Amino acid sequence: MSSRPPPHPVPQLRVTVHRARDGRLGGPEEDAVVVEEPLEVRLGERSLLVTMRTPGDDPDLVRGLIFTEGLVARPEDIVGVTACRDVPDEARGNVVAIGLADGVELDEARTVRAGLVNSGCGVCGKTTLDAIHATSDPVSAGPVVAPAVLARLPQSLRDGQAVFETTGGLHAAGLFTADGKLLSLKEDVGRHNAVDKVIGEAMRFGRVPLVGTLLMVSGRAGFEIVQKARRAGIPIVCSVSAPSSLAVQLAEEGQQTLVGFLRGGSFNVYSGPQRIASRPVG
């Protein structure tokens, strides 16, 4: 990834709010909120799933979602994502169809499970742990990163969140090089969607597995964040908040480095400390 593509504009809606200050409720003011709408994914005439998302980067979102959820085995199994035109006007822009390579079939069991995905939570609604384990090999050794590089990631992520500054309602996922260069940043109301968009973009350019990269996410590092990163071969996953116990377990099993509470120059390493330099690198 030698260059970072221009960000896709994230849609916002102007609304009327009443702000409370100093114990008093003020008059009406105009404010911005991020748009959330359903996206239906089809295979031919068949509806596969519906997921809530922030419109924008939909093809990358769908590529990333279908791959990281284990519905297909390889990035190249997906040969296209196109907007459906033969839909009612009110659904226009919110229905896409995927194309699969010859001989490729979806994993039907995982297709059912992926239909439960929504913008707020990736693990909610899943019935068993076995159902949410996507088959993935452990990640490669990957880079060794200086603590100072990690310390810069949260601000780099925040600096790239133009829409967050006006709405406060978006999660972000950023893909970085081992020396802290931002390669890709995506925003969405769902943190899992933001990760899928980053991975889907890399798939579109044939850059998966992402063996030399770091993933930085806003919010907490849950099981599915680590799972999606592992599917894409990302060796280091960082979060500004806490990981879950299942996220730590999966990171250890996949030989990933998992960093949490990354803020203000401090952080915790929950697995894979060998990738964090004990002294400055270089």
Active site residues per annotation: 121
| Nearest CA-CA partner of 78 in 95, 60, 101 | 101
Q: Terminal CA-to-CA distance of the chain, rounded, Å?
A: 22
User: Could you give the strand order of the β-sheet that contains 236-239, starting from the edge strand earlier in sequence?
Assistant: 182-188, 171-177, 213-217, 236-239, 257-263, 266-271
- b/e code 115-131 from CB counts within 10 Å (16+ = b): ebbbbeebbeebeeeee
For residue 67, the SS3 value is helix
Q: What are phi and psi for residue 31, nearest 5 degrees? A: -140, 170
